[in-house]
Amino acid sequence: MRYILFFLFPVSLFAQKQITLEDIWQKGTFSARGVPGFNFMKDGVRYTRQEGSAIVAYDLRTGKATDTIMNAASLNSASVGWKNTFDSYQFSSDESKMLLSVGSSQIYRWSSEADYYVLDLTSRQLVRIFEGGKQRDAVFSPDATKVSFVSGNDLYYKNLATGELVRITTDGARNAIINGASDWVYEEEFELVRAYQWSPDGKHLAFIRFDEREVPEMKMEMHKNGAYPEQITFKYPKVGEKNAVVGAFIYNLEDRRMLPVAIPDRVSVDGRFDDYIPRIAWTPWGKLCLTWMNRHQNIQRLWLAETQTGSCQLLLEEKNQYYIDLHDVDFLSDGTGFIIQSEKSGYNHLYRYDISGKQVATITRGDWEVTAYYGLDEKNGQIYFQAAMKDPSRREIYAANPGGDKLKKISQEEGTCSAQFSSTFDYYIHTFSSANRPPVYSVCDREGKVVRELEKNTTLQEKMSEYGVLPVNFFQFTTSEKVSLNGWMIRPEGSEYDGKQLPLLMFVYGGPGSQQVTDAWKGTNYWWFQMLAQHGYVVACVDNRGTGARGETFKKMTYKQLGHYEVADQTEAAKYLGTLPYIDSKRIGIFGWSYGGYMSSNCLLKGKDVFKAAIAVAPVTNWKWYDSVYTERYMQTYLENRDGYEQNSPVNFAEQLQGNYLLVHGIADDNVHFQHSAEMVNKLIAANKQFDSMIYPNRNHGIGGGNARIHLYTMMTRFLDEKLKG
């Protein structure tokens, strides 16, 4: 039987303060306090953080400042553009130099560009590395004698001793060729931003080249103050369209020779390679490891490339009847092998291989999942990772030896724990939260013992009592197909609700490998859900089939038919919840964003006898219009799986709309394009169906900036009050 949590809060519901949207989205009344980013120093006991224009070092164990590394306000430079301030910083490996970014601007979700300056911490000399345009992905070479970067889609490095600037590539061009940085789809779906790496000895640079000239272009309009909208154009490969052709190259800094890496067995389509190279990494002994995947992403190979010839040797191959989730390879510094994650047992686990590609140890095993890999402390023979061993909704931190025969749980709390280890693995920053407790941050030693507390969010916990928040309770139910699903619920309490049937709002995401039913702090939406509960709504969330931490079979059963099992499960969840005596089965709504918007749309259309209302924010409405990497991973192409696409895309069921539908989208959404909602609107109009909608000009997938968020949540609250509560 699944655990159920009940909490008694000391403040009476009659005396509680009312949560408002202004509190949530404007005043920051309920903002959880975090801790600054921890940039660990190589001694393993100190970290640095940016404080205004200064960088200060602290002792991890005591929290006391030990040194002011630099203060930008006091730095003088003859370099153009220096204004005694900076946005971010990084140290060289020997901590003798710093790289400072100035004037950063966002490109896509993870990428940005800026002007970079190098500060020599001994001489205090500050030098701008390039004046030919903004740079991205700048890093030091391993010996700190050079800085590499990408500008104008070309790869460069600067010799810091001589001042020489070397342009490695010359064919970079926007929407055509990218050298050393990734294209949109690699950044979004493979989380690859910097597509180049230094060799350990600093004598070679390996990089990926993207030829996206034949990739179709996407256009977005930005509506500003001019007489005409500004057109934004970028390459975006949709399902079945041409991807960028990728190749890997090794550049020798000594003879300045460029060498293509010859990956064997690549299949070309119409003379173009149609596959992926989502990772490159150097081994400690100086070979380049490339992760290769076919376009279906159900075959993955690790290739080792020679720096002198570019020829490759197969290190490891894995195949899967569905798809393979991408994981990084962790090479042992002594050159004896590597550690990698795999679902080959049916659950995601850690394995150790020797350098010939032979498995030598199963580090973790069992009907549970490793959910994060933190690294190997080779000095002490310990591997650290996060897992959902006890319950899919919870996370613990563990240590194991490389042989896999000793496993120890080092976190103590029951909820969700995560870790950020220092460079020596002697200490880590421990983050803990639960569904009913905001984040708590501590410094722990390698055994999990708390050294000191950093932030307990005591003030926010007091506000929870002051505002009479209701407990998040967990539940399970079994569907008609004998599938057990997990959920959470917030239920109004008080005599005014006794014997009454209340409206229900279901919150959904539901995408492959995701989870919403976790015993973890829910962030800002938590407070909106609490506000709705104060107004008499029951709020619930259920993780459908296809979600994570329950093994490969549960997650991958949605393969080639995204939306089918998920919608069935959400509909059954609504029916089950509607049988509870305090829920009105005729007043059930569902809300989701992105994949969740896709789900809420499908639920309203296909579950028209169950759901009375749905809110869909930035929804996918037809998988044909989403990107190639994500969609084909789970659905293959439209030509290969026509029925899977047609039977599960909301645009094809617009005529079934009976309930109340609110459709929301940002026009500048580079991820799920406004096209999805525009086509949905066209279908609804063609079917003569009435609905509500809102567009947000110049807003991306997150719909933020200015008053966009409070405007959105005010509108959604009003919609629910009119369609469900009224």
> Measured between alpha carbons, how far is 610 from 588 in angstroms, rounded to an integer?
7
Output the pLDDT for position 647.
Answer: 98
pLDDT at 541 over 90: yes
| Domain layout of the chain by residue ranges | 168-326, 469-725
pLDDT score, position 36:
77
Among 112, 53, 117, smallest CA distance to 80 is for 117
Residue 12 has pLDDT above 60, yes or no: no
Q: Which CATH architecture has domain 469-725?
A: 3-Layer(aba) Sandwich (3.40)
Measured over the CA atoms of residue 126, residue 131, residue 134 and residue 136, the dihedral's sign is negative
pLDDT band at 551 (very low <50, low <70, confident <90, very high): very high
Return all residues near 380 (Cβ < 8 A) that are at least 6 apart: 425, 446
Average pLDDT of the residues in 365-379: 97
pLDDT score at 8: 36
Phi, psi of 65 (to 5 degrees): -65, 135
- 442 — phi, psi (to 5°)? -140, 160
300, 324 contact by CB (below 8 A): yes
Q: How far apart are CA 211 and CA 215, in angstroms?
A: 9
- Candidates 224, 221, 242, 245; CA nearest to 233 is 221
Q: Give the per-residue pLDDT at 37.
A: 76
Q: Is the per-residue pLDDT at 487 higher than 90?
A: yes
DSSP assignment letter at 681: H
Mean pLDDT within 124-142: 95
pLDDT higher for 270 or 148?
148
Q: Are 521 and 437 in contact (CB under 8 A)?
A: yes
Which amino acid appears at position 379 of this protein? K
**pLDDT given for residue 9 in this prediction:** 40
pLDDT at residue 71, as a whole number = 94
pLDDT digit string, tens, across residues 202-247? 999 999 999 999 999 999 999 988 899 999 999 999 999 999 999 9
- How does pLDDT run across 282-332, given as a tens digit for each residue? 999 999 999 999 999 999 999 999 999 999 999 999 999 999 999 999 999
pLDDT value at residue 365: 97
Residues 6+ apart with CB under 8 A from 526: 472
- pLDDT tier for residue 15 given thresholds of 50, 70 and 90: low
Q: pLDDT over 70 for what percent of the chain?
A: 98
- Average pLDDT rounded to a whole number, residues 392-421: 95
Position 465 pLDDT exceeds 90: yes
pLDDT at 7 over 70: no
Residue 517 contacts residue 541 (beta carbons within 8 Å): yes
Indicate whether 412 pLDDT > 60: yes
DSSP conformation letters of 577-644: HHTSTTEEEEEEEEEEETHHHHHHHHHHHHTTTT-SEEEEES----GGGSBHHHHHHHH--TTT-HHH
pLDDT in tens, 332-350: 999 999 999 999 999 999 9
Q: What pLDDT is stored for residue 225 in this prediction?
A: 86
**Which of 1-15, 289-303, 454-468, 549-563 has the weakest average pLDDT?**
1-15
Region of poorest pLDDT, from 24-38, 407-421, 422-436: 24-38
Residue range 94-111, pLDDT digits in tens? 999 999 999 999 999 999
Average pLDDT, integer, range 35-42: 87
Mean pLDDT of 111-115: 96
Domain 469-725 in the same topology as domain 168-326: no
**pTM for the full predicted model:** 0.95
Quote the CA–CA distance of 667 and 488 in Å, as a whole number. Answer: 33
Q: How far is CA 253 from the centre of its chain?
A: 35
Instruction: Choose between 2 and 713: higher pLDDT.
Output: 713
Q: What is the pLDDT averaged over residues 119-139?
A: 95
Rounded to an integer, what distance in angstroms lies between the CA atom of residue 445 and that of residue 421?
A: 9
**Closest C-alpha to 518, from 490, 543, 539:** 543
User: Do 204 and 252 touch, CB atoms closer than 8 A?
Assistant: yes
Cα-to-chain-centroid distance, residue 191? 8
Give the CATH fold of the 168-326 domain: Methanol Dehydrogenase; Chain A (2.140.10)
In angstroms, the Cα distances linking 16 to 7, 24, 376 are 16, 16, 49
Instruction: State the DSSP string of 229-290.
Output: PEEEEEE--BTTSPPPEEEEEEEETTTTEEEE-B-TTPPEETTEE-EEEEEEEE-TTSPEEE
List 431's β-bridge partners, or say none.
418, 441
**Confidence at 79, pLDDT banded by 50, 70, 90:** confident
Q: Average model confidence (pLDDT) for the chain?
A: 95
Look at residue 253 and tell me whether its pLDDT is greater than 60. Answer: yes
**What are the DSSP calls for 144-179, one per residue?**
SSEEEEEETTEEEEEETTT--EEE-----BTTTEEE
pLDDT above 50 (res 4): no
CA–CA separation, 415 and 692 (whole Å): 39
